[in-house]
Amino acid sequence: MPRRCPPGVLCIENATILFIICVLLVIALYYYYNKTLLLSSKVENNVDYNIFPPAQQPNYNVEFVQSKDIFTNPYMPPLKHNFFVPPTTGDPRGVPINIPTRGFFPEYKQLGILNRINGKETVLSLLGRPLHTNRQKWQYYTMREYNNIKLPVSKNGRSCTSEYGCDELFNGDTVYVEGYKDAFKVTIYESESPRYIPYL
């Protein structure tokens, strides 16, 4: 005999009550997780991990494109370029070479001057950069007085334009310049040091 509900009384079966409780539980969990995710994303967006506030950078619209021509650009070294084969070509010879893994080499810059010791007074610019493999090794070259012909510099019989460079040059050192076949005395410019640290 089926159960009947007396008039004026709401009758619900046990299975229906269990189903309604499960649906309400799922809705409550969904609301709770969405609310905590929303709060955590707001907190992450408002947190400033930078100890120092960003400095205002002046907005200069200056474009600097360095020419790669060794004849017109004095800062391009007198080196032959053995370019690597890109790995996307499927080179059957193996692994590509000449890919820097310890950062890129810094650009050459004028570090000082060279004064001729014997003969006619001659002043040449000294250009160089540090090597990454050893900070005490540098690569150097110079240029002729009246044109952009780049000349190798040697110190203690070692070429300073080679892949291994030579020892760092200091004031008063003597070097040999290939195009002049003569010795030159080194004068190094003073290093620029930090003058002002606004955050201290």
Please determine, for residue 117, whether its predicted confidence score (pLDDT) is greater than 60: yes
Q: Please, which residues bridge with residue 159 across strands?
A: 154
In the prediction, which pLDDT does 116 show? 92
Tens digits of per-residue pLDDT, 33-81? 888 776 666 555 555 555 555 556 555 554 555 555 665 666 666 665 5
In the prediction, which pLDDT does 39 show? 62
Please determine, for residue 1, whether its predicted confidence score (pLDDT) is greater than 90: no
In the prediction, which pLDDT does 172 show? 92
In the prediction, which pLDDT does 181 show? 82
In the prediction, which pLDDT does 97 show? 65
In the prediction, which pLDDT does 180 show? 87
Please determine, for residue 133, whether its predicted confidence score (pLDDT) is greater than 80: no
pLDDT > 70 fraction of the chain, expressed in percent and rounded: 64
Closest CA to 173 of 91, 131, 114: 114
Please determine, for residue 106, whether its predicted confidence score (pLDDT) is greater than 70: yes
Three-state secondary structure call for residue 180: coil
- What residues contact residue 145 under an 8 Å CB cut-off, 6+ apart? 122, 123, 124
Output 198 or 108, whichever has higher pLDDT: 108
The helices-and-strands tally (H runs, E runs) of the chain is 1, 8
Phi-psi domain of 42 (left: phi exceeds 0; alpha: psi -120 through 50; beta: other)? alpha
A 10 A CB-CB count for 1 gives: 3
- Helix (H) or strand (E) holding 25, with range, is helix 14-46
Band of pLDDT at residue 184, cut at 50, 70 and 90: very high
Output 84 or 101, whichever has higher pLDDT: 101
Pairwise CA distance, residues 16 & 35, whole Å: 29
